[in-house]
A and B are shown apart, each in its own frame.
Chain A
Amino acid sequence: MAYFSKVLHICMKDLKVEVRSKERIYSMMVFSLLVMVIFNFAFDPGAEYIREVAPGILWVALIFSATLGLNKTFAAEIDQDCLQGLMLSPMDRTGIYFGKVISNILFSLIISLLTLPFFAVFFNIPLLDVLPQLVLVISLTIIGFISVGTLFSAISVSVKGGDMMLPLLLFPIEVPVIIAAVKATGMILDGAPMMDYSMWLKVLTLFDVIFVMIAFVTFEYLIEE
């Protein structure tokens, strides 16, 4: 019980820091919008095929902005060695990981929800009817992306040129998540019943479970010195 409340304290602390500085949320949001606008130039916005490529565009925007946020995960902790302060606390150190994972998931989820209305307007795609299903897929995807991403950001923060390393390490690992997210989103936007894409939901859930467990086991190896 004490473990969970400490995980929550770490998460709340991250949220509080973010509310003060707003550094991450702003840049993630602007970046996500920028990606969609750029894609709009790459494709013909009025064209028929835009509905087919739209899920891909949405996910490139969300994943890139999430990566931007991930790079900042441990930055605030390194500046004044706060990570060491956390490591000194009498708790299992995986708590640091889970606190960070939860706050990162919240940031990415907020950005995703804020991006959706712009996505609907830019590409003229009605979302209201399928919103619950879409939020489910987005949540599962973000959990899978952030669980490994937070682990890797612990690596990239202490490596020279780590900002560049993070996507290089993370994107290939996340291929199943990205495929599942794009496929499921496409089917949802086409109004397919859940039966059709339940397989992709299973892939996402499986990935989430496996990699949260692996991260749990390996995190301590990454932060020890």
Chain B
Amino acid sequence: MIKVSGLRKSYGSIDALRGIDLNVRMGEFLTLFGPNGAGKTTLLKILSTIIAPTSGSVIIGGLDLKKANYEIRKNIGVISHKTFLYGDLSAMENLIFYAKMYDVPNPKARAAELIREVGLRGREDHQVRTFSRGMEQRLSIARALIHDPSIIYLDEPYSGLDQHAALMLGNLLKKLHTQTRTIIMTTHNITHGLEISDRIVIQISGKIVYEGETKDHTVKSFEKVYFEKVGKRD
């Protein structure tokens, strides 16, 4: 589904990505671990066409990212720790706006449906600025799903959430994880990352240093691998 080869990105003299090769199958949930500054966000931003790579290629669903970024965007939903939501607009208005941007037929019905799904019923007419962090994040998920994308990127979705909100997010993610939906998540929280993923990858200083299956690991065993890799980086 997603095929990344030899991907590099440099900002002048700073190299954010230094040759990333990665394959993600359709329906797979991949978690990308790594310390701050590893280039995880840069990688996701390239995969979602926000940033152009310096070199290397990305093929998503058979389409080359360089040539067809417009088409590719239709299949991508992004959830980050920022919500992409307008505080002055209501939950419903935000969703309807994004629905229209994605040419979703019948935006109102779709928005109402998603608000129910993320458990914000009764709040649809409240301004987003009055929402708690957890509610914001749930609405942000609804926003990312508005066009029913087959690929979802999650960039540190747990940051700023309390225990309860994190639990709800975890349950929502489990529901999202279907046969036809490919998901990539970045995090540095090992417990959350292992909970729902199929495959795990560690990225350090713009390079992938470890790949493994989630089922081969417990939190303990993976923690050992992770700190070994991170500790070695200097």
Chain B residues near A21 (CB-CB < 8 A): 88
A202 on interface, CB distance cutoff 8 Å: no
Chain B residues near A80 (CB-CB < 8 A): 82-87
Q: Which of B78-113 contact A (CB under 8 A)?
A: 78, 80, 82-89, 93, 97-98, 100-103
Are A90 and B71 in contact (CB-based, < 8 A)? yes
Q: How many residues of A contact B (CB 8 A)?
A: 26
* Known A20-B89, A80-B85, A90-B70: A85·B98 in contact at CB below 8 Å: yes
User: Once bound together, how far apart are the Cα atoms of A10 and B89, in whole Å?
Assistant: 13
Chain B residues near A88 (CB-CB < 8 A): 48-50, 73, 76, 78, 84
Q: Give the distance to chain B from A69, nearest Cβ to Cβ, in Å.
A: 16
Are A13 and B74 in contact (CB-based, < 8 A)? no
Chain A residues near B48 (CB-CB < 8 A): 88
* Known A88-B73, A89-B73: A17·B88 in contact at CB below 8 Å: yes
Chain A residues near B138 (CB-CB < 8 A): none
User: Once bound together, how far apart are the Cα atoms of A81 and B98, in whole Å?
Assistant: 14
B127 on interface, CB distance cutoff 8 Å: yes
* Known A9-B97, A16-B89, A16-B93: A85·B73 in contact at CB below 8 Å: no
Q: Give the distance to chain A from B76, nearest Cβ to Cβ, in Å.
A: 7
Chain A residues near B86 (CB-CB < 8 A): 13, 17, 76, 80, 82
A116 on interface, CB distance cutoff 8 Å: no
B51 on interface, CB distance cutoff 8 Å: yes
Jot down 6 A-B pairs with beta carbons below 8 A, ordered by A: A13-B89, A84-B78, A87-B49, A89-B102, A90-B70, A91-B101
- Which 10 residue pairs spanning A and B have beta carbons closest together? A85-B84, A81-B82, A89-B101, A20-B88, A90-B73, A90-B74, A17-B88, A225-B51, A9-B100, A80-B83
